[in-house]
Structure 1
Amino acid sequence: MASKQVNRRAFLSMAASVVGLSCCPALRAGGIPLRFIWWGSAERADITRRAVSLFEANHPGVTVETDYLEWLDYWQHFVTLVAKSQTPDLIQMDYRYLALYARHGVLLPLDRYLGNQLNIASFGPHNIDACRVDGDLYGVNLGINSSAAILDTGAWADAGVEPPGFGTTWEAFAQKCEAFAKGNRRDNVYATPDASGSLAVFENWLRQKGKALYDADGQLAFTAADVSDWFEYWAGIRRVNGCVPADIQVLSKHSFQSSLLILGYTAMDYAHSNMFLNYQARMAQSLDLIPFPVFEGGAPGHYHKPSQMLSVGASSASPAIAVELANFLVMSPPAVRILGVDRGIPASPAMRQILLPQLDVAGRKTIAYIDRLDPFIGPLPDLPPPNAGEVAITFQSIGHEIAFRRLSPRQGGEQLFRQASAILAR
């Protein structure tokens, strides 16, 4: 088993590349100070702070300092905090990084709090165990979600093409993208982003073939030929103008502000289902959620996963209060009503029932999508290895290189396999 001691030198090395990010010291003026950080939009920040204020009102003497950033900035900032021994008390954690920080002793095991400050038995074993590493609980499931394609059906209708839907095959999807290009009359609008550099969409493709990104030992579970085939598939769509060209694709920075759908370049986008509300809030036209394309007779590619988790810093001076705050955010009806489905559908059936009457059309579509997705759902994959984030960045970079015609799909597949293998071997 990997060491649970913090490799300070490794974290300092990672943090050394972070420029211009400062750390905010915790409040120390009396009472019990907590620090809580998360990634997300301004809307998420607003509702989260409202829920935290309720917790503070019910816990006199507890003061919660909050902070949030966009996805990429958040993880750079978090590395810096860890390297400086300033890990927050409560941390919004992603599934791909859970094992990394748990095994390096950054996160606190939570089993001792189950049934006490942490009353989440109603989540069910699957939604609790999804947050375990090596048998120990390191996170509180903030919501159930799955990958999704977010669709502007009106744009497809204007192009005279029936949009993709539940059960559309990969072959049919490529044909629909080509038909969109031929029928579209809008300037600089394409059927889809170029998802060739998206590790999440590639993972779905692999799972349908009975494969995976990583095996139980954290090594690549696919071949160079698999990824070359994937790059070739998207090269075919690119050749018929079925997806955005490379100079537009590079505008996407994994944020709502840079979403090619929201910016008006595409008729769809790829995200997680809990992000649907943010997409819909930014667009006047009605949007829908659909699964990724499928191989006829293939295995399910989607899976339910914790949209995010709440983890407690191992160095927290008030871990029981931090756990109590996490429990409040997922099991207190007033807090659940405030947070809605921004981070996914509540794992507790009782909390879902409390939430359902207040949801708008977009919220109900999110729940309906998850309910309808069952035939496309397979088992949760093994926890990704610690360097999975770097593999994802490399995957995106090589996708761009191919789109700019600096590499062929075969060359890109071979290069990705070599570089990803080297990253995982460190």
Structure 2
Amino acid sequence: MLINRRTFMLGSAAGIALGATGSSVTLAAEGVELRAMWWGSNDRAKRTLSVAKLFEEKNPGMSIVGESISGDGYWTKLATQMAGRAIADVFQLEPSTISDYSKRGACLPLDPFVSSALEIDSFGKDVLKLTTVDGKLWGIGLGLNSFALFYDADAFEKAGITPPGVDTTWSDYADIAIEMTKAAGKRNVWGGPYGARYAYVFDAWLRQRGSSLYTESGLGFGVGEAKEWYAYWEDLRKRGGTVGPDIQTLDQNTIDTNCLALGHSAIGMAYSNQMIGYQQIIKNKIGIGMLPRAEKGGPSGHYYRPALIWSIGATTNHGEEAARFINFFVNDVEAGKILGVERGVPLSPKVREAILPSLNSTEAETVKYINALKDQVGSYPAPAPLGSTEFDQRVLRPIADQLAFERISVAEAAEQLVTQGKATVRAG
């Protein structure tokens, strides 16, 4: 049964009721009901709902209404809630959106709850900076991750081709992707994705060259850099190293719509914590590595980031209770064992240590990957300015699609990206 786009009620007395139309159960008398909203795979939904049920068992009188929404529909739903002043009590954000939405008034500052409902001293001050904007704490990271390159290890082994490694350059990557397309020898199967569509890959590309996707005041790149970026992907597409545009446009920024998960490519680009979700969909063994770099020994462009973030809705009437739920999510050992590392490596040292023995091989690989990045990561970037979410969804992706369909040229795409980007992204 699919969980995405459906709403469920978890009652402390009656457990989980999962009906085809989103059935509910009787709430505890005179209790507090919290609404929680997130996006992600069915596996994430199941883990989240299980932790919500555990929270209810340990906190009699409290109940959680959980809603999992797929793809860009999440942001549409959040925008509707913001307009109606009915934001979920607890909702999910990510590093590229927390600055944007906190400045738009979607979030409640968490500083008043620190030490009372939120116990986060063990996380370290540097980690808390990752969810701090303008001197205030707007969310709690649910785990650490970074950018990653996933690949079909079985397909690479069968082809006798060495997968991308720590010193793989973008030039090397192009050769590997083209080789894998030839090795597949199948219609609608290519070496890798049309990565011009991915903001986080562009971010790493720019950081490798001493630039950035954003600054605190707006875009961090110019037309020349955008032109180089688009030229690379167009050249690779025409040489047969990327999926076709009709396949790439299926990608809704979710695991199950990614070309690797759909079986159309041997390589995918995503976030390290998503390896678990990919491995559950893909029959072959998945490998994980870093994104290619501009030159051997040069900057990787990677940085540690909170994989996902829980924030509290600005319109909530239950801020303290919402903070207690978040605290349970990140600090309870039993909850940590249910969640594993699907949302990233836990920030709590106690939880991290407790779950390590129970991790399966795929989960252990994501922890190993994060640890291996220790000497490769750079500093965390400035918080994304206002409009960054819209830039990703309404500017960068559509322009990349038009380019891949050959409706515009590389030069036109670069000009449009910067012009439209400057009109969309701005200082708060």
TM-score, with structure 2 as normaliser:
0.90
Task: Evaluate the alpha carbon distance shift between residue 263 and residue 57 of structure 1 in structure 2; reply closer, same or farther with a 3 A threshold.
Answer: same
Q: Which residue of 2 aligns with 1:314?
A: 314
Task: Evaluate the alpha carbon distance shift between residue 377 and residue 149 of structure 1 in structure 2; reply closer, same or farther with a 3 A threshold.
Answer: same
Q: What CA distance in whole angstroms lies between the structure 2 residues aligned with 1:404 and 1:88?
A: 39
Q: How many residues align?
A: 402
Q: What CA distance in whole angstroms lies between the structure 2 residues aligned with 1:181 and 1:66?
A: 42
Secondary structure, in 3 states, of the residue corresponding to 1:274? helix
Q: Give 1:37-76 correspondences, 5 Å limit.
A: 37-76=37-76
Q: Which residue of 2 aligns with 1:381?
A: 381
Alpha-carbon displacement from aligned partner over 1:302-336 (angstroms, at most 9, x marks no partner): 11111111111222212111101100010010111
Q: Which residue of 2 aligns with 1:232?
A: 231
By how many angstroms is 1:36 displaced? 1.1
Q: Which residue of 1 aligns with 2:103?
A: 103
Q: Give 1:98-177 correspondences, 5 Å limit.
A: 98-177=98-177
Task: Judge conservation of contact 1:160–1:180 (CA < 8 Å) in 2.
Answer: no
Task: Judge conservation of contact 1:151–1:287 (CA < 8 Å) in 2.
Answer: yes
Q: What CA distance in whole angstroms lies between the structure 2 residues aligned with 1:181 and 1:43?
A: 30
Q: What CA distance in whole angstroms lies between the structure 2 residues aligned with 1:143 and 1:159?
A: 35
Q: Which residue of 1 aligns with 2:245?
A: 246
Alpha-carbon displacement from aligned partner over 1:354-376 (angstroms, at most 9, x marks no partner): 01000000000000111112233
Q: Which residue of 2 aligns with 1:214?
A: 214
Amino acid at match of 2:165: G
Give RMSD over aligned pairs.
Answer: 1.9
Q: Give 1:375-414 correspondences, 5 Å limit.
A: 375-393=375-393, 394-414=395-415
Amino acid at match of 2:405: F
Task: Judge conservation of contact 1:89–1:322 (CA < 8 Å) in 2.
Answer: yes
By how many angstroms is 1:425 displaced? 5.0
By how many angstroms is 1:116 displaced? 1.8
Q: Which residue of 2 aligns with 1:344?
A: 344
Q: Give 1:292-311 correspondences, 5 Å limit.
A: 292-296=291-295, 297-311=297-311
Alpha-carbon displacement from aligned partner over 1:209-242 (angstroms, at most 9, x marks no partner): 010011122x111110101101111111112101
Q: Which residue of 1 aligns with 2:10?
A: none
Q: What CA distance in whole angstroms lies between the structure 1 residues aligned with 2:61 and 2:36?
A: 16
Task: Judge conservation of contact 1:312–1:323 (CA < 8 Å) in 2.
Answer: yes
* More deviation, 237-246/249-258: 249-258
Task: Judge conservation of contact 1:300–1:375 (CA < 8 Å) in 2.
Answer: no
Q: What CA distance in whole angstroms lies between the structure 2 residues aligned with 1:178 and 1:257?
A: 24
Task: Judge conservation of contact 2:279–2:286 (CA < 8 Å) in 1.
Answer: yes
* More deviation, 324-333/106-115: 106-115
Task: Judge conservation of contact 1:214–1:221 (CA < 8 Å) in 2.
Answer: yes
Task: Judge conservation of contact 2:103–2:386 (CA < 8 Å) in 1.
Answer: no
Amino acid at match of 2:365: K
Q: What CA distance in whole angstroms lies between the structure 1 residues aligned with 2:102 and 2:281?
A: 36
Q: What CA distance in whole angstroms lies between the structure 2 residues aligned with 1:254 and 1:79?
A: 18
Secondary structure, in 3 states, of the residue corresponding to 1:97? helix
* Runs of at least 5 residues in structure 1 that lack an aligned partner in the other structure: 1-23
Q: Which residue of 1 aligns with 2:89?
A: 89
Alpha-carbon displacement from aligned partner over 1:40-92 (angstroms, at most 9, x marks no partner): 11111111111111111111111211111113111110111111111111111
Task: Evaluate the alpha carbon distance shift between residue 254 and residue 391 of structure 1 in structure 2; reply closer, same or farther with a 3 A threshold.
Answer: same
Q: What CA distance in whole angstroms lies between the structure 1 residues aligned with 2:372 and 2:426?
A: 39
* More deviation, 295-304/54-63: 295-304
Q: What CA distance in whole angstroms lies between the structure 2 residues aligned with 1:320 and 1:226?
A: 46
Q: Give 1:279-294 correspondences, 5 Å limit.
A: 279-294=278-293
Alpha-carbon displacement from aligned partner over 1:177-231 (angstroms, at most 9, x marks no partner): 22223333333211101101211111100000010011122x1111101011011
Secondary structure, in 3 states, of the residue corresponding to 1:71? coil
Q: Which residue of 2 aligns with 1:35?
A: 35
Task: Judge conservation of contact 2:170–2:293 (CA < 8 Å) in 1.
Answer: yes
Task: Judge conservation of contact 2:227–2:410 (CA < 8 Å) in 1.
Answer: yes
Task: Judge conservation of contact 2:28–2:62 (CA < 8 Å) in 1.
Answer: no
Secondary structure, in 3 states, of the residue corresponding to 1:373? helix
Task: Judge conservation of contact 1:158–1:184 (CA < 8 Å) in 2.
Answer: no
Task: Judge conservation of contact 1:27–1:65 (CA < 8 Å) in 2.
Answer: no
Q: What CA distance in whole angstroms lies between the structure 1 residues aligned with 2:64 and 2:302?
A: 36
* Runs of at least 5 residues in structure 2 that lack an aligned partner in the other structure: 1-23
Task: Judge conservation of contact 2:117–2:327 (CA < 8 Å) in 1.
Answer: yes
Amino acid at match of 2:79: V
Secondary structure, in 3 states, of the residue corresponding to 2:378? coil
Amino acid at match of 2:415: E
Task: Judge conservation of contact 1:160–1:183 (CA < 8 Å) in 2.
Answer: no
By how many angstroms is 1:282 displaced? 1.0
Q: What CA distance in whole angstroms lies between the structure 2 residues aligned with 1:263 and 1:104?
A: 36
Task: Judge conservation of contact 2:333–2:350 (CA < 8 Å) in 1.
Answer: no
Q: What CA distance in whole angstroms lies between the structure 1 residues aligned with 2:61 and 2:301?
A: 48
Q: Which residue of 2 aligns with 1:185?
A: 185
Q: What CA distance in whole angstroms lies between the structure 1 residues aligned with 2:88 and 2:304?
A: 28
By how many angstroms is 1:389 displaced? 1.3
Amino acid at match of 1:363: E
* More deviation, 151-160/325-334: 151-160
Q: What CA distance in whole angstroms lies between the structure 1 residues aligned with 2:29 and 2:94?
A: 31
Secondary structure, in 3 states, of the residue corresponding to 2:342? coil
Percent identical residues: 34
By how many angstroms is 1:27 displaced? 7.2
Q: What CA distance in whole angstroms lies between the structure 2 residues aligned with 1:138 and 1:360?
A: 32
Q: What CA distance in whole angstroms lies between the structure 2 residues aligned with 1:347 and 1:83?
A: 33
